[in-house]
Chain A
Amino acid sequence: MIEKVPSKNLERTVAVIGNPNTGKSTLFTALTGVHSQIGNYPGVTVEKKLGWFEFEGQSIRLVDLPGTYSLSPRTIDEMVSVDVLLGRQPEVGQIDAVVCIVDASNLERNLYVLSQVLDLGLPTVLVLNMWDVAQERGIQINPEELANRLGIPAIPCEAHRRKQIDLIRSEIVKASHAPKSTPLDIFPEAFHEEGRTLQAEFQQFSNQVLPTYLVERLILDVGGQLEIDLTKPNPEQLISRLKEARERLKALQFRVPNIEAKLRYGWSRQILNGVMSVPEKRPAVATDTLDRWLTHRFWGLLAFCLAMFIVFQSISWAAQPLMKFCEFGQKQVGEMIGSLLPFGPFRSLVVDGVIAGVGGILVFLPQICFLFLFIALLEDCGYMARAAFLMDKLMTKVGLSGKSFVPLMSSFACAIPGIMATRTIENRRDRMVTILVAPLMSCSARAPVYWLMVAAFFPSISWAGGWITLHGVMLFVMTFFGAVVAIPIAWLFKKTLFKGETPPFVMELPSYKVPSPRIVLHRVFDRASAFVMRAGTLILATSILIWGASYFPSDHTEEQKVLTEIRQAESTFARELEAKEQLSLLRENHSHPNAPQAEIDERLAELDQRLKPLHDLFDTRNKISEQLLANSFLGRFGKIIEPVVKPLGWDWRIGVGVLASFPAREVIVATLGTIYSLGGDVDENSQGLQSALQSATWPDGRPVYSIPVAISIMVFFALCAQCASTLMVIRRETNHWGWAAFTFAYMTTLAYIGAWVAYVAASWLLAS
């Protein structure tokens, strides 16, 4: 690494650390603005968040470390934070200073991690965030005296109001140039003595030269990640030496691990004595009453269900007009480009492959944004922790704890962040079960499939003055279907593969707060751009592949001839077509009192009569196209697999679509878009994929899609593991390919059986 040069312009690296729920990300965003970058540390899935700012001519690189209550590295995640602070993480390099952010309304506990940071001997800046909350609760703190006693700057701050940000920037710049300070030392000399002995022993038995800090942590953290990592070279010798050291200390009344908390909290009290005064009882705040209702055994659960119901109702209600608009746009673009290009393979590739495929999935962007907006709002306002509290009781029934609830809830947006969020679960068995059932939660990629099927095949009935719609109810049911199935599955896993006690459950309930628009919008933007990226890469590639397989090897000259004739006929009948469109609109709206239905219908029939030559042309085109598709590579392949999917009520096109969507489930929408655009089940009224599905038929003329088929497709998608990225994350998080393969196998089997049962049951119910 480069030696530190005391030049003003060389970039300095500063780490930001603090307890969870202290507003660390808000402060980070306030300090760096838009100049940030998110990645991963190599080998682990800990998020590496970097940001930059320049102040008084000094450029600073901030490293955001995951929120933690302590610096004792008991898990791999915490190990990364310690490595960064010790300068052992090559991706980050040497750390020049540390910003420790604490919750001013809960200083005693927050100073615990500060004491560990001060042990490092790095220049430190203390940020007393949530100063307003502390004031509200009647907590009096003297920041000057606190700074004095600690020997470091202590700045009161309200990060969400961006108060004192420049002062913090300036202190960071100062600290980044300060020399190393003497580490805080609250442990007795005997402990350091043992540390030195152990350090020498490690060098002797494993040839490792360890920093003093790590050796001392090794003594303090019984059964932690360090013990596993560092004793690897010579476990027998090293573990027994370590145990001996702990025994010797125990004889001196230095009992590991309890002694650390005792000493650190003792120090924290001593520092705060006379600096802070706290009223005995927390004054009642408005949100306490709200909290009583929201955490109530009965009303709380009811409120939770209601909140979820409202979320899904409003997604279908609010996103509908936007989606219509997107569909309209997609159609316009398709027509415009279509009219510019001559008939032939290239036009077909662009219009049927790319626009019908990728465009078909992009129209769901409004819904995706709304879904992530709601989840981000619930997370940021502090409600998620309450939901976890409410769910703990239910989760213990299947052998898990409330801790599993938050990862599972996030999986409703996407299983990938959900599975990554399982790292907060310390118990390995619980974590494994949570990872294995997380992909069953209905992620946002399943939503387009539900939206498409529900909108196309369920009648639009509404109750309660339009507030509750059948579509909304169906979406709600489908969204929670996977979660309901996950209950017996999780129970089964916990009873067979991962037997063991349910661990105790401890979780902080942060104060409610108004969600920060910046953070919420940032999250929505992140997820939305990931969705668009996927549409532009993986889905685009699959669409082109599917197009190629369904276009070739047939001869398309006859089809092109008919298409040219259609184009000519369309311009001949332009006036009739326009009149028909206007009349259809009138009929749909029924609002025009001067235009009686009967008269409109009569005129429509008359127009259709005149348009008959055009209709005939469309029929010919549909017949040719269907033949061409059936003879294509895709068609031939589809016929082979048809017997497998027939029991589910599917035709070969659905079968092919489902197979193509194993890398990413939302591909089904794109694939169906391409297949039906090429397959020719369209006429001049075609309004995109929905109506194409409605008019699809079996060779004998029966419609392919019925409510049972739609349900069978939805159940299959609800339960199937159609997401390569999720399987990769499972492999990475469980460190084994086996678990990814297991997840794939159990979910796919479940999906096939589920879809079959759903099809048979729904057909029987609707027939009786």
Chain B
Amino acid sequence: MSSVVSHALPLEMMSAGEQGLVVEIDGAPELVVRLEEMGLHTGVRVYMVQPGSPCILEINHQRYSMRFDESVTVLVGLVP
């Protein structure tokens, strides 16, 4: 990955318009696998369209609505 990854933060803390690379997904295995199959996997670039709970994310031009809780943590490294 070409972009320089700054410090990692939980995905739900991203602000509108920010982009990041998924560094780590942690949590209950079934939930993690579901997220990965839907397209949220380590190394993918995410773009925060509308923060909040639930938030709207864009991954590979596809939008998703997501709400996380303690059972899953998605860490992203912000990229410019």
Least distance between A349 CB and chain B CB atoms (Å): 56
Closest to B52 in A: A297
Cα distance A282–B40 in the bound complex, in angstroms: 17
Cα distance A297–B32 in the bound complex, in angstroms: 28
Pair A508/B54 contact, Cβ less than 8 Å? no
Cα distance A723–B30 in the bound complex, in angstroms: 36
**Is B33 an interface residue when CB atoms closer than 8 A count as contact?**
yes
Pair A109/B63 contact, Cβ less than 8 Å? no
**A507 contact set on B, CB distance < 8 A:** 64-66
Pair A508/B33 contact, Cβ less than 8 Å? no
**A291 contact set on B, CB distance < 8 A:** 63
Closest to B58 in A: A282
The A interface, classified by DSSP as helix, strand, loop or mixed, is mixed
**Is A199 an interface residue when CB atoms closer than 8 A count as contact?**
no
Pair A506/B29 contact, Cβ less than 8 Å? no
Pair B39/A106 contact, Cβ less than 8 Å? yes
Pair B33/A389 contact, Cβ less than 8 Å? no
Least distance between B30 CB and chain A CB atoms (Å): 6
Across the interface, B66 reaches (CB within 8 A) one of A257, A281, A393, A504, namely A504
**Is A53 an interface residue when CB atoms closer than 8 A count as contact?**
no
Least distance between A224 CB and chain B CB atoms (Å): 8
Closest to B45 in A: A280
Pair B67/A504 contact, Cβ less than 8 Å? yes
**A295 contact set on B, CB distance < 8 A:** 50, 56
Stretch at the interface among A235-243, A259-267, A553-561: A259-267
**Is B15 an interface residue when CB atoms closer than 8 A count as contact?**
no
**B60 contact set on A, CB distance < 8 A:** 106, 108-109, 278
Q: Which of A334-353 contact B (CB under 8 A)?
A: none
**Is A385 an interface residue when CB atoms closer than 8 A count as contact?**
yes
**Is B31 an interface residue when CB atoms closer than 8 A count as contact?**
yes
Pair A278/B61 contact, Cβ less than 8 Å? yes
**B67 contact set on A, CB distance < 8 A:** 392, 396, 401-402, 504-506
Cα distance A393–B43 in the bound complex, in angstroms: 29
Across the interface, B33 reaches (CB within 8 A) one of A109, A261, A265, namely A261
Q: A389-B54, A392-B67 are in contact. Are A506 and B61 (CB under 8 A)?
A: no
Q: A385-B65, A393-B54 are in contact. Are A70 and B71 (CB under 8 A)?
A: no
**A616 contact set on B, CB distance < 8 A:** none
Contact with B along A273-294 (1 / 0, CB 8 A): 0000010011000000001100
Pair B29/A257 contact, Cβ less than 8 Å? yes
Pair A282/B61 contact, Cβ less than 8 Å? yes
Pair B65/A504 contact, Cβ less than 8 Å? no
Least distance between B69 CB and chain A CB atoms (Å): 5
Contact with A along B26-65 (1 / 0, CB 8 A): 0001111111111111111001001011101011111111
Cα distance A113–B43 in the bound complex, in angstroms: 18
Q: Which of A568-619 contact B (CB under 8 A)?
A: none
**B38 contact set on A, CB distance < 8 A:** 69, 109, 506, 508
Cα distance A503–B28 in the bound complex, in angstroms: 11
Across the interface, A139 reaches (CB within 8 A) one of B30, B61, B66, namely B61
**B58 contact set on A, CB distance < 8 A:** 282
Pair B54/A402 contact, Cβ less than 8 Å? yes
Closest to B68 in A: A504
Cα distance A74–B32 in the bound complex, in angstroms: 13
Closest to B39 in A: A109
Cα distance A730–B31 in the bound complex, in angstroms: 26
**Is B9 an interface residue when CB atoms closer than 8 A count as contact?**
no
Least distance between B61 CB and chain A CB atoms (Å): 4
**Is A470 an interface residue when CB atoms closer than 8 A count as contact?**
no
Contact with B along A107-145 (1 / 0, CB 8 A): 011001100000000000000000000000101000000
Pair A501/B63 contact, Cβ less than 8 Å? no
**Is A530 an interface residue when CB atoms closer than 8 A count as contact?**
no
Pair A392/B65 contact, Cβ less than 8 Å? yes
Pair B37/A222 contact, Cβ less than 8 Å? no
**Is A105 an interface residue when CB atoms closer than 8 A count as contact?**
yes
Q: Which of A396-437 contact B (CB under 8 A)?
A: 396, 401-402, 426
Across the interface, A389 reaches (CB within 8 A) one of B31, B65, B68, B72, namely B65
Q: A295-B56, A426-B34, A506-B38 are in contact. Are A137 and B63 (CB under 8 A)?
A: no
Q: A69-B38, A105-B62 are in contact. Are A257 and B32 (CB under 8 A)?
A: yes
**A768 contact set on B, CB distance < 8 A:** none
Pair A257/B54 contact, Cβ less than 8 Å? no
**B36 contact set on A, CB distance < 8 A:** 258, 261, 265
**A112 contact set on B, CB distance < 8 A:** 37
Task: Apart from A108-B39, A109-B60, A503-B31, list 14 A-B contacts with CB within 8 A.
Answer: A105-B61, A106-B39, A139-B61, A221-B33, A257-B32, A278-B61, A282-B47, A297-B52, A392-B67, A504-B69, A504-B71, A504-B72, A505-B66, A507-B64
Q: Lowest 10 A-B CB distances belong to which pairs? A: A261-B36, A109-B39, A389-B65, A509-B63, A70-B37, A69-B37, A505-B67, A282-B61, A106-B62, A222-B29
26 interchain pairs, CB-CB under 8 A = A69-B34, A69-B38, A70-B37, A72-B33, A74-B30, A109-B62, A257-B29, A258-B33, A260-B33, A265-B44, A282-B58, A297-B52, A385-B65, A389-B65, A392-B54, A392-B65, A393-B54, A402-B67, A504-B31, A504-B67, A505-B54, A505-B65, A505-B67, A506-B66, A508-B64, A509-B63
Chain A residues proximal to chain B, CB less than 8 Å = 69-70, 72, 74, 103, 105-106, 108-109, 112-113, 137, 139, 221-224, 257-258, 260-262, 265, 278, 281-282, 291-292, 295, 297, 385, 388-389, 392-393, 396, 401-402, 426, 501-509
